[in-house]
Structure 1
């Protein structure tokens, strides 16, 4: 969680003011932290477009960062310097497996490349969050988590809430002083007061967990 302070954008200030004004256990932490950049990420590879973002996200599943980076670099080299739909489709599934992708990951990336028109930045800019989620989740190998993280980390949409993320739920459990971990369904309901800035609420919750409980078991990608 990166505090932006006096450098805060209008959206960051508005999110902090709104979330901090609620009669809510998160509000005190928001007021303490101040405005934040809800979207800032530090991918260890260069990401030059939506397909390449998904490619690294797919490669990274259940792998260490070092292994994922190595495979991504081999993939980029194999594809001639960039991950595009045309180059992935032309290379084929076997070439993807040859650089280190599992069979399932290769098939997922290939299907996504075949639907590369969906990932055109101009098209994405016209789509609502619900429309993006529906399109992404319809593709084999990609589910709600992939769609939500794409909306949050790549498209920078302000109202994305990752109810399935364990770290998010651990933070809510701690802030609300509950004696048991909450479920994703309960977390989703809990997030309703945080609209229309649930991306910011998600990042504040990650920040709370990281600063108060440095060793957390969730996957906050």
Structure 2
């Protein structure tokens, strides 16, 4: 599967209606915003590298770096990235630490030492645990892969600043505690990923 195989996160009226019933404030936002398209990357390696590129940088900066990588390498595959050195990867505009992590992950996967496809058989928590063994991959990056590649239905990331900001805006909160966050996340279950899509949108308004 190539780099440019994008699709939209699949959800519909069922998820929107159930979230609206579970949380009236979110329901009002869903009613106002309508259905939101969220682009995902089904190829796990491409999506993983995309998530790492997006760590701790703005959406705009991540898009710029990603565009340069696509221009330089064409297909983002374990083999194409493993053949580069970290200096060349870093020249796309990321930190050297990130470039080294991306190169090391590509080498590990291209040599058959990590089974990305096997993640599909695991639970969300098992996926997070397994991915976290890779250099430069933590819980947030794994959660982004769960949503943006695997289309897992119930992911709301505490580690995502925009999701927290969206939640604060939605409920008119000056700040949000982990306890408050978890209360809302529980209300969204089992359609937390769709709630996340709306929270991202609300955060950017």
TM-score normalised by L of structure 1: 0.70
Q: Deviation string for 1:37-93 (max 9, x for gaps)?
A: 4xx228xxxx683222222333344372564045313541xxxx4332234334443
**1:184 deviation in Å?**
4.1
Q: Does 1:108 align with 2:105?
A: no
- Mark the CA change 1:182 to 1:99 in structure 2 (over 3 Å): closer, same or farther: closer
SS of structure 1 residue aligned to 2:202: helix
Distance 1:11 1:97 in 2: 36
Aligned to 2:20: 20
Aligned to 2:137: 142
Q: Which runs of 5+ in 2 are unaligned?
A: 1-8
My pick for the range that moved more, 188-197 or 90-99, is: 90-99
Q: Which runs of 5+ in 1 are unaligned?
A: 1-8, 215-221
TM-score normalised by L of structure 2: 0.75
Aligned to 2:81: 88
Q: Is the 8 A contact 2:70 2:76 kept in 1?
A: no
Q: Is the 8 A contact 1:168 1:202 kept in 2?
A: yes
Match among 93, 118, 139 for residue 115 of structure 2: 118
Q: Is the 8 A contact 1:59 1:72 kept in 2?
A: no
Q: Is the 8 A contact 1:16 1:30 kept in 2?
A: yes
Q: Is the 8 A contact 1:59 1:68 kept in 2?
A: yes
Counterparts of 1:15-164 in structure 2, within 5 Å, are 15-37=15-37, 40-41=38-39, 49-61=43-55, 62=57, 64-65=61-62, 67-69=64-66, 71-73=68-70, 75-76=72-73, 81-97=74-90, 101-116=94-109, 117-120=114-117, 123-164=118-159
SS of structure 2 residue aligned to 1:113: helix
**1:17 deviation in Å?**
1.3
SS of structure 1 residue aligned to 2:115: helix
Distance 2:25 2:93 in 1: 45
Cα RMSD, aligned residues only: 3.0
- Mark the CA change 1:28 to 1:100 in structure 2 (over 3 Å): closer, same or farther: closer
- Mark the CA change 1:133 to 1:104 in structure 2 (over 3 Å): closer, same or farther: same
Q: Is the 8 A contact 2:132 2:139 kept in 1?
A: yes
- Mark the CA change 1:170 to 1:82 in structure 2 (over 3 Å): closer, same or farther: closer
- Mark the CA change 1:172 to 1:95 in structure 2 (over 3 Å): closer, same or farther: closer
